[in-house]
Every structure is written in C-alpha cells, then in structure tokens.
C-alpha cells in the first residue's frame, strides 16, 4: 500500500437553466345515469381533447394516455345501494416543447366541458446538456479544492485515487401549478375562444456533487 499522503474533498456545482419542456395533466370526465352513455360521452370528450392537442403539431412533443376508469356511483356510502350514475375519467399526459403556445393550449383545454388541466410542470429533458455541465463543474471544483488544500500545505497533487459521483439532482419548484376546469354541468354557451393565460417559465436548479481522493507529495510542515 502506498504511503503517499491522501487528500479527500467534495466538489459541488449548482447551475440555473431555463426549462426545456412543460408537462400538463389533462383529466377528461363524464358522468351519466348508465354505463354505456358515460363511456360514449367520455370517448367523445377524449377525442375532442386529443384533436385540440394534435392541432398544435410539433409544438407538442408527446401525448400519452395515462389511464381510463369507469366507476359506478352508489346512492348510499355505508351500505350496498342502487347505482345512481357512472363516472368515467381519462388521463392525458402532454409534453409541450414550444412555450409560445402553452398559455393558449392550457386555457383552451380548460375550456372544454368536464375537463381539468393541471400544470404546467416545468422540466429539463433527461439528456439535457445542463446535467453534463453540472457534473463537469463538480469534478473541476473537486480538483481545484484539492489543489488549494495541497498548496496550503506546501504539497502538490500527484494522482487520483477515487472519484465517486453522488448523483445529479434538480430542485423541485416551489410555485403551485395552474389548475383549470371546464364546465361540469351542461354544455356551456359559446363565448368564443378564451384569452391565453400568461405563464412564466420557472428557472430550473440543477445540483451535482462528487467525492474525490488524491495522492499528494509530502507536505512541508516546517
């Protein structure tokens, strides 16, 4: 085993970046006295929502169906009772890449009958260059810190023994997402297209940390 002195340090980096995508959760619902009608209404409203989302073309990066549920609603909660209605829900997950259309899309979706919109959740793509830059800066900081410690002792670094990645993290935003809900009664009167809501992208905070061990020359402790 080498008797060379070891210097152990932790390197950290914190970067701020503009978000690259925004995610919306669109809940489309129906509630009717019989199961088939509830399913038919749900199918119609789901198609209307998908058509609206699809009309934005490449501005929408991804559209996914998160699930479909048809639930009977009984008259009495504490004992078995007659079914008073059937409630259906479809979850549509939308990833938007073009923020210039986001406010308009959110309000138009929220204006659909029996439709709720949660979001936006701002995010970076998994392969974003921001994560690479944060990792590199953390490694550079570890080397610089180790050199400062070595210099303070009159020594210099001679090699790397170990570099341990503590992982990359993104701070969760503190802002509450917008929630918009369309009419849950009969069809609303046609009042024209709603005004787009102003949405300001939330700055993303990316953190990276590494632990490193270096060998060094003998310190000058004289």
CATH number of the domain to which 53 belongs: 3.30.70.2970
Q: Please give the angle made by the CA atoms of 64, 44 and 65, to the nearest 5 degrees.
A: 10
State the sign of the Cα–Cα–Cα–Cα dihedral 105, 119, 88, 188.
negative
Confidence (pLDDT) at 192: 75
Residue 187: its pLDDT value, please?
43
55 shares its domain with 36: yes
Q: What is the pLDDT of residue 100?
A: 95
Mean pLDDT by 10 residues, the chain (222 residues): 85 96 97 92 96 97 93 73 88 97 96 94 95 95 96 95 82 54 46 85 95 94 76
The pLDDT of residue 193 is 81
Domain span holding position 78: 21-123
Domain boundary among 123, 151, 170: 123
Pair (79, 10) in one structural domain:
no
Q: What is d(CA 212, CA 162) in angstroms, rounded to the nearest whole number?
A: 5
Note the pLDDT of residue 166: 81
- CA dist., res. 3 & res. 166, Å (int): 27
3-class SS of residue 173: coil
Domain limit, last residue, from 95, 123, 151: 123
Last residue within a domain, chosen from 75, 96, 123: 123
Cα-Cα-Cα-Cα dihedral sign, residues 55, 60, 64, 70: negative
The whole-number pLDDT of residue 185 equals: 40
| pTM score | 0.80
- Which DSSP string do the residues of 106-128 spell out, in sequence order? HHHHHTSTTEEEEEEEEE--TT-
Q: Would you state the pLDDT for residue 73?
A: 86
Residues 25, 62: one domain? yes
Task: Round to whole Å and give the CA distance between 118 and 103.
Answer: 13
Same domain, 36 and 116: yes
HSE of 101, CA atoms in CB hemisphere, 13 A: 19
C-alpha to C-alpha distance for 90 and 66, rounded to whole angstroms: 7
Query: What pLDDT does residue 217 have?
Result: 94
In a domain, residue 191? The reply is no
pLDDT at 59 (0 to 100): 97
Per-residue confidence (pLDDT) for residue 115, from 0 to 100? 95
* Nearest-angstrom CA–CA distance, 91 and 69: 9
The CA distance from 129 to 34, in Å, is: 52
Structural domain tally of the chain? 2
Query: Residue 204: which of 99, 129, 122, 136 has the closest Cα?
Result: 122
Supply the pLDDT for residue 2. Answer: 66
Residue 146 sits in the same domain as residue 179: yes
């Amino acid at each position: 085993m080498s008797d060379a002195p070891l210097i152990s340090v932790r390197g950290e980096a914190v970067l701020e970046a503009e978000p690259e995508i925004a995610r919306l959760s669109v809940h489309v619902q129906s509630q009717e006295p019989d199961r088939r009608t509830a399913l038919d209404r749900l199918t119609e409203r789901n198609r209307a929502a998908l058509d609206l989302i699809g009309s934005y073309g490449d501005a929408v990066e991804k559209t996914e169906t998160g699930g479909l549920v048809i639930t009977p609603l009984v008259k009495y909660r504490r004992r078995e009772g007659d079914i008073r209605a059937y409630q259906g829900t479809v979850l549509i997950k939308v990833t938007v890449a073009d923020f210039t259309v986001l406010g308009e899309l959110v309000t138009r979706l929220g204006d659909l009958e029996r439709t709720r919109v949660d979001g936006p959740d701002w995010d970076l793509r998994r392969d974003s260059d921001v994560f690479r830059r944060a990792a590199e800066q953390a490694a550079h900081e570890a080397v610089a810190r180790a050199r400062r410690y070595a210099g303070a002792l009159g020594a210099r670094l001679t090699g790397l023994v170990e570099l341990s990645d503590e992982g990359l993290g993104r701070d969760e935003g503190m802002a509450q997402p917008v929630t918009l809900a369309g009419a849950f009664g009969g069809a609303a009167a046609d009042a024209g297209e709603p005004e787009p809501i102003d949405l300001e992208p939330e700055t993303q905070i990316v953190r990276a940390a590494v632990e490193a061990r270096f060998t060094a020359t003998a310190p000058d402790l004289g």
